[in-house]
A and B are shown apart, each in its own frame.
Chain A
Amino acid sequence: MRLATTAITLAGVAVIVFFVIRVVPGNPIAMMLPPGATEDDIARLSALYGLDKPLVTQFGIWVAGVMQGDFGTSITTRQPVLDLVLGRLPATLELSIMALVMAMILGGAAALTGTRFRGGRTEGAIDVANGMALSVPDFLWGLVLILLFGVLMPVFHISGRVTPSLELPFTTEFYLFESLLRLRFDLWVDIVSHMFMPALALAVPLAAIIGQLLKQSLKETMNLDYVTLARTKGYGETRVILREALRNAALPTLTLVGVQFTFLIGGTVIIERLFSYEGLGNMAIDAVINRDLPLIQGIVILFAVIFTAVNLIVDLLYTVLNPRLRHG
């Protein structure tokens, strides 16, 4: 049942994006050719890219191609869309996952500290910080971080994935991963210092959501009978929170985090642009500006697939982690 709805969703995305971008004014072919190009040149290239055929036919051709793994050719770079897109995907994935991990650590720490010291000023301070982090989107945090750590205290890099002068011995585009696997820690540090700011900008709003929800959940769980029973056994407050309450409180937070993670991934579009990070999002913006229709299509579909995959994984995780559902 889930697969059916997923398929419909993806199909819907494909259709919408296909027809929407073909309404885009501005002929991409014309934009590509040098100023002296003739009408004939334009017509020839348009035919080459199939842009002269009726819309529905174009869609049919595209779908047929997709079934065989051919997502068309980029108009601006003349390369297959699939290659381009998969080439940039690892960068965005690494960034998103790094942001997710940071968000979980920050949010988790905030929630646990707030619960451990609840009722006092510590909790109040955490609530205020949380509220602010929640209200401001990743774009603004990115700019703030650029100001703070790019200009004021230049600790981290604010541009690119890696220092340009470095020689990279990688075979895949998973820089972060490969540098670890190859034990090239010098490269790894360089890469992390480039990724830290954009990942943090993406992480802050999600961390706030996690912090708030988890703390709420924890406080409710702390009132339950089994927690009280644990206290009589001699366990201290911190032990009780971590051992008894955390697992049960974390479960409801999980589903929300899943949805919010997809928003985070969506945020990579502007954050990558802001930090000149060579990922999918950055390429997407250029694609739109250059009216590279096949490329736009490919990127949007890929994002949709990623979102759907994340949702499925979250559902799966939930079933695995909740003992009650496992034994049904």
Chain B
Amino acid sequence: MAEERAVDGRSMVRRRAGLRLWLSAGWLTLLCVVALFAPWIAPKDPLAQDLFLGRLPPFWVQGAEPGYWLGTDSLGRDVLSRIIHGARVALMVALVAGTITCLIGATLGLLAGFLRGWVDMVISRLIDIWMAFPPVLFSILLIAVLGPGLWSIIIAIVVIDWTRFARVVRAEAMAQGAMDYVASARVAGRGRLGTMVREILPNVLPTIVVLLTLEMGIAVIVEAILSFVNLSISTDDPTWGGMIAEGRTSIHQAWWVLVFPLVTLFLTVLAFSQLGEGLKDRFDPVLR
């Protein structure tokens, strides 16, 4: 009974995992490249306004202006270029915020899960309190406190979302900590911290990596939401969330201002998430 399920599942999942990984990794790599070379790739200056060229439709619609491939917004700024530049902010936030959240959250989770005792009690209590805050509200609050800016967003994401890592890693560390290989390591004379780092960490690493990709997707969303509510970076640099906010208001007259950044955001978040899923399947020892 069990074997037959595994045989079916294994081949099916392996096929799906491969495709998923390649597609999502592909999109994300494209995004990185675009973000890196934005000033050279973007056809127009993202900040250049020209009221005579306001609300131009994308190239396949009548009334479009050549060179403005995806149309312009109400101030005449090129949508495509703004999306390309917006990728810089998005990826910057994703990578930096994601990594720092991961480091802090995973460390706290490891400590709580493995050391137990009062360390676990304090950290668990903190996690409970944290989870009683609605995340979006909390982030808006923090931005209000920290003031707008890229680093404020990063700090806000870290402060709010470390619990995501902490909870999961704590559970895994606890489960691993109960296993025999840990006991043997301790008997062999390893100190507690040493055991934690050298024995448990490698086994918890796959979970952490998967969560990391997930976190990056979340970071992009948080940034978008904050830009949408007008609390993101302080300069005029384009952000996908900001574009979406503008697009929302002129949705009936110029749908493209909302649609294209939305699609990009959608695909990016999807890509991060599927990357995580694909990696999770890869790491699954049952399938190896």
Interface residues of A in 290-317 (CB under 8 A from B): 291, 296, 299-300, 303-304, 307-308
Q: Which of A131, A146, A268 contacts B251 (CB 8 A)?
A: A146
| Distance from B85 Cβ to chain A, minimum over Cβ atoms (Å) | 20
A289 to B277, CA, bound (A): 37
A11 to B169, CA, bound (A): 26
Identify 25 residue pairs between A and B in the complex whose beta-carbon atoms are under 8 Å apart, listed by A's number: A5-B125, A8-B129, A9-B128, A9-B129, A13-B132, A16-B129, A16-B133, A20-B141, A20-B142, A24-B145, A25-B145, A135-B273, A135-B274, A136-B269, A139-B225, A140-B265, A143-B248, A143-B262, A147-B258, A150-B251, A151-B252, A266-B134, A266-B136, A288-B141, A307-B132
**Contacts A270-B136, A285-B229, A303-B134 given: A21-B265 contact, CB under 8 Å?**
no
Contacts of B142 in A (CB 8 A): 20
Question: Which of B125, B128, B144, B274 has the most C-beta atoms of chain A within 10 angstroms of its own C-beta?
Answer: B144
Interface residues of A in 127-161 (CB under 8 A from B): 131-132, 134-137, 139-140, 143-144, 146-147, 150-151
Check if B168 is an interface residue, CB within 8 A of chain A.
Answer: no
Interface residues of B in 245-287 (CB under 8 A from A): 248, 251-252, 255, 258-259, 262, 265-266, 269-270, 272-274, 277
Question: Which of A137, A267, A270 has the most C-beta atoms of chain B within 10 angstroms of its own C-beta?
Answer: A270
A residues neighboring B (CB under 8 Å):
5, 8-10, 12-13, 16-17, 20-21, 23-26, 119, 124, 131-132, 134-137, 139-140, 143-144, 146-147, 150-151, 223, 262-263, 265-270, 273-274, 281, 284-285, 288-289, 291, 296, 299-300, 303-304, 307-308
**Contacts A10-B132, A151-B251 given: A139-B273 contact, CB under 8 Å?**
no
A306 to B39, CA, bound (A): 48
| Distance from B234 Cβ to chain A, minimum over Cβ atoms (Å) | 13
Contacts of A291 in B (CB 8 A): 144
| Distance from B218 Cβ to chain A, minimum over Cβ atoms (Å) | 8
**Are B147 and A25 in touch, CB under 8 angstroms?**
yes
Contacts of B224 in A (CB 8 A): 139
Check if B137 is an interface residue, CB within 8 A of chain A.
Answer: yes
**Are A144 and B266 in touch, CB under 8 angstroms?**
yes
Contacts of B273 in A (CB 8 A): 134-136
**Are B270 and A136 in touch, CB under 8 angstroms?**
yes
| Distance from A297 Cβ to chain B, minimum over Cβ atoms (Å) | 11
**Are A304 and B221 in touch, CB under 8 angstroms?**
no
Contacts of B129 in A (CB 8 A): 8-9, 12-13, 16
A137 to B269, CA, bound (A): 9
Check if B174 is an interface residue, CB within 8 A of chain A.
Answer: no
| Distance from A263 Cβ to chain B, minimum over Cβ atoms (Å) | 8
Contacts of B147 in A (CB 8 A): 25
A139 to B1, CA, bound (A): 42
| Contacts A139-B224, A266-B134, A274-B248 supplied; 10 other A-B pairs, CB < 8 Å | A5-B128, A16-B133, A25-B145, A147-B258, A151-B251, A266-B137, A270-B225, A270-B228, A284-B137, A307-B131
A300 to B140, CA, bound (A): 12
B residues neighboring A (CB under 8 Å):
1, 8, 12, 125-126, 128-129, 131-137, 140-142, 144-145, 147, 217-218, 221, 224-225, 228-229, 244, 248, 251-252, 255, 258-259, 262, 265-266, 269-270, 272-274, 277
A132 to B258, CA, bound (A): 21
Contacts of A274 in B (CB 8 A): 228, 248
Contacts of B1 in A (CB 8 A): 223
Q: Which of B133, B137, B274 contacts A131 (CB 8 A)?
A: B274
| Distance from A87 Cβ to chain B, minimum over Cβ atoms (Å) | 18
**Contacts A9-B132, A20-B141 given: A146-B248 contact, CB under 8 Å?**
yes
Contacts of B133 in A (CB 8 A): 13, 16-17, 266, 300, 303-304
| Distance from B33 Cβ to chain A, minimum over Cβ atoms (Å) | 23
A8 to B273, CA, bound (A): 35
**Are A140 and B125 in touch, CB under 8 angstroms?**
no
Contacts of A12 in B (CB 8 A): 125-126, 128-129, 132
